Structure 1
Amino acid sequence: MSQEQIDILQRALKREKAARKAAEKILEDKSRELYVLSEELKISNAKLEAAVNEKSSQLAGIFENIIDAYVVMDLRGNVLKMNDAASHLFGYDLSEEPLNVTKLIYTEDVAYAFESFSELIEKGRFSNYTARIFRKNKEIRWVQINASLVYDTDQKPIAAQGIIRNITELKSLEQQKEKILKQLEKSNNELYEYAHIVSHDLKSPLRSIDALVSWIKSDNEGKFDEDTLQNFGMIEATLETMESLISNILEYSSAGSETNESKDVNLNDTMEDLYRLLFIPEHISMNVLKKLPTVKGDPTKFQQLFQNLLSNAIKFCNKDKGIVEVDFVEEPSFYQFSVRDNGIGIEKKFHERIFKIFQSLNKSKESTGIGLSIVKKIVDLYEGTIWLESELGEGTTFFFTIKK
């Protein structure tokens, strides 16, 4: 082999050694990177595993500690899993025996139960299903259920889950409430009838006394002196006041009672009727500032309401030029009415007192202290509120709301 050939081989060997050394360096660097990446991946996997275990533990804790019963079942009604609250409610232990929800359905609620299950399959959920169930020992419980379907990765329903709340005690309270309301309604009707009877029985002797006084005066015309005639006049005035008081008590007893009569009441027609019914002195002007709305209710009660407020405004006007104004504003869920006058006004400390029965601030034969209490009862009946703004000597504005 010539020297030239030897040189060529040596150069090739040198290049090969250099290439091998470079390759070893690259391999060493990549191995080091792979090791570091592997160690980081181990740390990440450990953290992820810890997080998964933590979440699994939390979910298990939530499942077992939900206050309401929680159940998972297949689409044939076989219970796959339930928490302790469900086991306690139903009286079954899945570790000892299988359970199908058909065992729980109360006999009279079977049709309703299957309708709800059909809704669950069709819509994927149902809410506030309320029915009775049988416990294992055949005790009956009222429950309210909210349920939804469980889907697989292909969005096919594979199971259902539901939260079941025991509302037995609540249902019992509702039934007691209904019973009490019926008893109260019966008592109110009996009381109303009694008030009518008492009213009639009390008015009869009053009218008899009034008639006797009238006969005595007529039979002895010209025989009585002025003082005696004045005494007879006081008796007649007292009889009139007592009859008015009895009528007002009867009106008060019926003012807050519900009525089956519910009509469209055009309050403009109501005001026209009151213009004819009320005595409005010439020095008092009564104005409705804008066309009033039509409301739903009992026409008689709305007439009572406005009549008492307007009568009060007229009665306690002490100005040479009296003003009574009726107005309203419409809100989304109610109407707010106002009746304003420029009369004597009411002190702030009496603003609550005047709505109580027999709490007239002006002791006179014209005021029995019942009118505003009737107004309050009617406003309460229509789920409204009433209040007033007033200044002594300046006048009073009564505000009240009526639910739409």
Structure 2
Amino acid sequence: MNLVHEGHIATPKGFYADGLHAGLKRMKKDIGLIYSEVLAQTAAVYTQNSFKGAPITVTQDSLASSAETQDSLASSAETQVLIVNSGNANTCTGKQGLADAYAMRLATAKKINVPEEYVTVASTGVIGVPLNMPLVLDGIAQLDEQLSNGKGFQEAILTTDKTIKDVCITIQLDGQRVTIAGAAKGSGMINPNMATLLGFITTDAAIEGAYLDKLLRQTIEASFNQITIDGDTSTNDMVLVMANGMAGNKPISAHHPEMTLFKEALLYVCTVLSKKVAEDGEGATKLIEVTVNGALHKEEARLIAKTVVGSNLVKAAFFGEDGNWGRIIDAVGYSGVPVNPDTVDISISDVAVLVQSEPVEVDEAAVLSPVLQQKEVSVVIDLHLGTETGTAWGCDLSYDYVKINAAYRT
């Protein structure tokens, strides 16, 4: 795999993107567009929150309408366009909110001259406030579907994020150059379950739709579903991938000889975006990575890792640069996964603090304190029960997290 340092969401062949300020936010860009010049195989996963934003209903409808099976729960189909706004989630806004989300879809379809069912919709921002539709519709009218304005799109999807989150890589499939790019937003209200935040992936690879859906679900379990910032699952979480086939490779399926390469590339893209979200957590000063080894089952390793990285006590300790491994072992114990309390090892940024559940004498001032001052802190836990491993990402818990969320609407 080769990193494309200047690549963005519109770098894959046949994709375009734009973003601009429509007025939903005071100054920053707040409406964005992704457009594929040909139909793209599209797969998506959504929040498991019972209160889902109106845009999710519309996107599910679009995918169901353009799917071969006409299934109302279809998660893969053919689409060409994504329209997204930030600053307003359009959630818990009643019948009018749903009508507004459909109006966004219709206006975008007319703007680009494609059927409505080829348009997907996403929103993020404050819950319970009606969309300012005159501003939204005017913004849609100003978007340019022929631009390669990847940075503009990436800025338009942000809320409390401090930085854009993007990645772009290339691989060779069947002798053809294939590009996969991604953009995401997310800084708070992050505790995914079958999706997280907003994440959008484009690729010019040719791939069977059903297989794309399968790969996306597998990939999300090991990436987006393994991050947590504050334990809250948003109402609008969505991860959507579009593959338009313009690279010219033979369609990827479970039987494609280079299927593993594409799968690894997709996982890489999703993992990079996931870590960027965790690193940019509201008020965060540190990225925390927790890896659990020696588990009996991969799912159990992932659960323990996410439980530890999601512990407020662990997060607060790392903000205070306190190597209190007791909080780590405590989280392992209440994760719900059976473990042997006599065989656990723990290290913090390569400093062993527990071996076979026995404390290791460490000069905290000279050895542990310096590594806890770094911007990235790693925790490795070995259960010594099996061979499976799992990793999760999160951030520390600072004073600023409370400040940001106490004044979120003001």
| TM-score exceeds 0.5 | no
TM-score of the pair, normalised by structure 2: 0.18
Q: Report which of the two has the higher share of strand.
A: 2
